[in-house]
Structure 1
Amino acid sequence: MSDIRLKIFYTVADHLSFTKAAEILCITQPAVTKNIKELETELDIRLFERQGNKIALTEAGLILYQHAGSIFEIYRKIQYDLGLLKDKQTGELVLGASTTLSHYILPPILANFYKHFPDIRISLLDANTEKIENAVLRKKVALGIVEGKSNNKDLKYIPFLKDEIVAVVHTSQELASNDTISKDDLLRIPLVLRENGSGSLDVIAHELRSHNIRLNDLNIIMQLGSTESIKSFLSNSNCMAFLSISAVSKEITEGEFKVIDIDDLDIKRIFYFAHLQGQPEKIPEIFLRFAQNSITKSYTL
């Protein structure tokens, strides 16, 4: 199976259009059709089924499409890793990251990045999502990494990492006797949450709204400006908080905090890179790709 046929197939499958694939690949539509037919002959199975003026992937076509995507991703990683060996980069990079990322996810990535690029000097602004986005817009930060996205038309968002926000209590407190609570229970339990402008708070509010619960319906006794301050508060108070699983995984493993399940409430989010519209400059682009490559070795996006 040749790479060119696989690429033509993947492009057709991606857009479900022979015409669109021909435009993207800068070849004629008959050439696209010819290569698809030859690929089907080689594999001895139909990859597309025709439905009037439309096409759809067969079961075999779907399997090949999934494998082709993995193959092309491996090619991109090969090119990236070989590029690291060829290029020596120097310069400065100003990053901005929301609290969860800067405290719990980025440090090992930054340390590994320094090993590969010791001549790139990095500074990191730690603030909530709203402030990071504003810093990117003002060009104070070249690349932001934020919790969720505001869909600001001047910013481009690129998915980075999946995360889960969980309800936690300190195991020394009375609330730790619960394993599961209902959404009605949630309305009564004293809560400590992040401050307004926090990406975590926005994600929590959005998920609760889908269950017809507003933040004003909750028994919020305090809002604090950092995850660490919330964890310290919980250790001295019979309250519950919503925190990123990345921020409390160590304490959960050590038995200091406990996750409380809430019926039918599942809070998931995606961390995003954020930069000004257009192609990022070379050094921010290098870090972005490096971080993505690092994450794929430990997490699934």
Structure 2
Amino acid sequence: MLSLHHEVFMEVARLRSFTKAGQVLFLSQSAISKHIKSLEYRYKIGLFERHGNSISLTQAGHILYDKLLEAAQLRAELHDELQHINENFLPPTKLAIGSSTTISLYVLPSVLSAYLREKPHIQLSVLNRNSDNIQTALLEHDIDVGIVEGITRVNTLTYTPFTTDDVLAVCSGNSPLRGRILPLTALLEIPLALRENGSGTLAVVEDELFKRGIKQSDLKVLIRLGGTEALKNFVLADTCLAFMPRRAIVKELAAGDLVEVKIEDLFIQRAFHFIQRKGTENNSLVNEFIRFTRHYYSKMD
């Protein structure tokens, strides 16, 4: 239904990069350029504008991209209907997943391995960003389904519960804070290492503290770090306090490299949700992946 030229165009348009599209499609940059030039010759109009090292879609490019998105959706629906009447019909299928950092690093690897053993005809790609960026990627059709932490909801997306995780106050095993039980007001004086704005972990910590009369601006923030691993490694090297998801630090807690610091009247738990664009809730490939993942983790939690 879609030619290779059109498939290449869609990747370039989605990623706004010839180089990145080539990496995704395993094609050289010169091959990518030839496919785009062939389309531009066919339609007798430019599809991209070049701006030094960046590109953007022309008006014609935007029109073509929107129509190809519709065609891709029709193809997916066609495959769904054919599979309902012929279970042996298994076309190569792509599924693009986006997930927040904790999910990508500590939750998805095992379930994706199990999923691919059962569905070898499906080609998976995973985008790892903070929760805000995953919502944006879904809205911009860069991914088919997202998994995010508790953040502000968007009314054009649907949210399906997945699992939960505790967020713990922790310090290094060498910190003078280890072994202490702190009053909530101590958070106003203790140096803190926090995640970057847009992080789901940060959002749920802020929300719980705000319920108890503490704003982020009241905190003594020593540093902000982008990503769970960066935050973990900083805390291991420092004596500060940080809030981290339990799933991300299981090994460090067991080894004593990180230690939970109890804070009176503070229990933080965050929820993970699958997110889909409204109007695509009947996408059988996405729904099958959601069912598989929820079932897989229901046996583990």
Instruction: Give the TM-score of the pair, scaled to structure 2.
Output: 0.69
Q: How much does 1:232 deviate?
A: 0.9
Q: Secondary structure at the match of 1:107?
A: helix
Asked if residue 193 in structure 1 is aligned to residue 194 in structure 2, the reply is yes
Hey, what does 1:157 align to over in structure 2?
Answer: 159
- The unaligned stretches of length 5 or more in structure 2 are 1-83
SS in 1 for 2:237: coil
Matched, 1:109 2:111: yes
Give the aligned partner of residue 48 of structure 1.
Answer: none
Superposition CA RMSD, Å: 1.4
Residue 88 of structure 1 and its aligned partner are, at CA, apart by 6.7
Equivalent residue, structure 2, for 1:207: 208
Tell me the CA shift for residue 282 of structure 1: 1.9
Q: Deviations over 1:127-146 (max 9, x none)?
A: 00000000001111100000
| Residue range with higher mean Cα deviation, 86-95 or 243-252 | 86-95
Q: Is the 8 A contact 2:151 2:203 kept in 1?
A: no
Residues 1:195 and 1:88: Cα distance change in structure 2 (over 3 Å): farther
SS in 2 for 1:285: helix
Aligned to 2:221: 220
Q: Given that residues 149 and 157 in structure 1 are in contact (C-alpha distance below 8 angstroms), is that contact kept between their aligned partners in structure 2?
A: no
Verify the 8 A CA contact 1:149 1:272 in the aligned structure 2.
Answer: no
In structure 2, the partner of 1:182 is: 183
Q: Which residue of 2 aligns with 1:51?
A: none
- Residues 157, 273 of structure 1: 8 Å contact kept: yes
- Letter of the 1:289 counterpart: R
**SS in structure 1 opposite 2:158?**
strand
Give the gaps of 5 or more residues in structure 1.
1-82
| 1:81-127 superposed Cα distances (whole Å, 9 cap, x missing partner) | xx9xx677440100000000000111111111111111111000000
CA 110–87 in structure 1, closer or farther in 2 if over 3 Å, else same: farther
Map 1:135-174 → 2, pairs under 5 A: 135-174=137-176
Size of the aligned set, in residue pairs, is: 214
User: Is contact 1:92-1:121 (8 Å) kept?
Assistant: yes
Separation in structure 1 between the aligned mates of residue 239 and residue 89 of structure 2, nearest angstrom: 53
Give the alignment of 1:13-162 within 5 angstroms: 89=90, 90-162=92-164
1:281 deviates by 1.6
Larger Rg: 1
Query: SS of 1:287's equivalent?
Result: helix
The answer as to whether partners of 1:148 and 1:270 remain within 8 angstroms in 2 is yes
State the distance in 2 between where 1:158 and 1:280 align: 13
* Alpha-carbon shift at residue 174 of structure 1 (Å): 2.0
> Aligned in 2, Cα 1:87/1:201: closer, same or farther, shift over 3 Å?
farther
Task: Look up the match of 1:255.
Answer: 256
Runs of 4+ with >6 A deviation: none
